A = this chain, B = another copy of it.
Amino acid sequence: MRSADVVVIGGSAAGIPAAVTARRHYPDKSILLIRREEKVLIPCGIPYIFGTVGSPEKNLIPDGVLEKNSIDLFVDEAKGLDPAKRVVTTAGGEEVGYDKLVLATGSEPLVPPIPGADLENVFVVKKEVPYLNQMLEVMKGVKDLVIIGGGFIGVEFADECKKGRDINVTVVEMLHHCLALAYDDDLCSQAEALLSEHGIDLMVDTKVEAIEGDGKVTGVRLADGKVLKADAVILGIGCKANTALAEAGGLEIGPTKGIKVDQHMRTSDEHIFACGDCAEKVSAFTGKPSPMKLASIASTEARIAGANLFSVHRENKGIIGVFATAFWNTTFGTAGLTQKEAEKNGFEVAIGSAEGPNRHPGGMPGMSPLKVKLVFNKNDGVLLGGQVAGADSGGELLNAISTFIQRKMTAEDIATFQLGTHPALTNSPIGYQLVNAAEIASMQMR
């Protein structure tokens, strides 16, 4: 029987950093990573396969990181788990013993409970190379593509599928805005305008009733009876934790259907940890369960789990949620709570917004505008969330905002934050968006 001190199930944004962190913290332990995929896709890169990047093979996580860290690899699907014996069994009939087990089994795309979701050429976003290659092949002949769901995956697929194809792309979103869970209405409108400008048809406040077709999909029927022509449909409505292995082992499942974990990422079994999309999460702001699933959260949780395997080092303080998208040279990023989420959760807020160039003077090459919106708790001045829109430097500026939130910085702290600027890289120290947005918000708190 195979065995290792540490066995990690899953080889993506949670499994790899869990194994690497275990290696760094426990240099003497043997570590085995089991995954079912021959090749592992970069999850956030999947939409870009359909335009910018061109093929799944160009969007892979290299195995070099495993070799470099002396992590053994075993490609097979873990199907059974016996926590009492500390043994995992695989689809290939192998038994693998462990001292500590990390479940990083990820998530699976949700399929809406509507008729026709099983028709040919109706796709979900699977993290599997052969499946995506088949999707790419089908896309060659598609004239009318309907995407159901206007979140990140939906709009990124819409935009990428439009690139280099003579194709009509329609996004159908149930809520009043695309990207409505990530941004407040002004940023959603800005993103929607940009997508419309580049030929994407957006239908918001729109519910899908059925997918129609005979064998193959031919259309999407909306709640008002209208039928959108479609020779392919992509379902981008979210995903659910993959808990099959955990359930096979009798582990507890949490309120959002993820594997229940404590603040050290330990499951209901003391030798088994879970991290990433398969694990239950709580919001750092409310302490409530959160269904949010992001590769970045997965990697942070993995770094906590991997360090804690044999001796507790690190604590999960709850997720804040930091994510971005970018299209047509415009970045949209968000960290923590939007204004509407904050208000929905009962916070009285103070808002500060500042817009300016990403260069100084404005005549420096590469100038584009960058807007920052900060959402503070009006009662104690602490930052609850931030949004950015514009220049691509907003992608890393978002990580400064994320730090502000994690360190519970107030508007006063941010207004006097010691910043670094340069003509070719940022706004000027006078105009710098973060400090000005904080100062504007702080004026509402005096």
Contact = CB atoms under 8 A, between A and B. Distances in A.
Q: Chain A's interface: helix, strand, loop or mixed, by majority?
A: mixed
Given A59-B361, A300-B419, A403-B407, A429 B397 contact: no
A394 to B, nearest CB: 8
Contact of A45 (B360, B366, B426, B440): B360
Given A393-B395, A399-B400, A425-B395, A296 B418 contact: yes
A13 B432 CA distance: 11
Contact of A396 (B52, B297, B393): B393
Nearest to A333: B420
B361 A430 contact: no
B396 A60 contact: no
Copies in the complex: 2
A417 B361 contact: no
A92 interface: no
A20 B324 CA distance: 32
A403 B425 contact: no
Contacts of A407: 403, 407, 409
Interface in A47-68: 48, 52-54, 58-61, 65
A335 B403 contact: no
Nearest to A327: B424
Nearest to A403: B403
A419 to B, nearest CB: 5
B363 A53 contact: yes
Contact of A331 (B25, B304, B313, B425): B425
B420 A323 contact: yes
A439 interface: yes
A17, A25, A361, A393: residue with the most chain B Cβ atoms closer than 10 Å: A361
Interface in A303-342: 303-304, 307, 313-314, 319-320, 322-326, 331, 333, 335
Given A44-B360, A366-B392, 13 more contacts: A16-B430, A53-B364, A59-B363, A296-B418, A299-B430, A299-B435, A300-B417, A314-B416, A322-B420, A323-B422, A324-B421, A392-B425, A395-B426
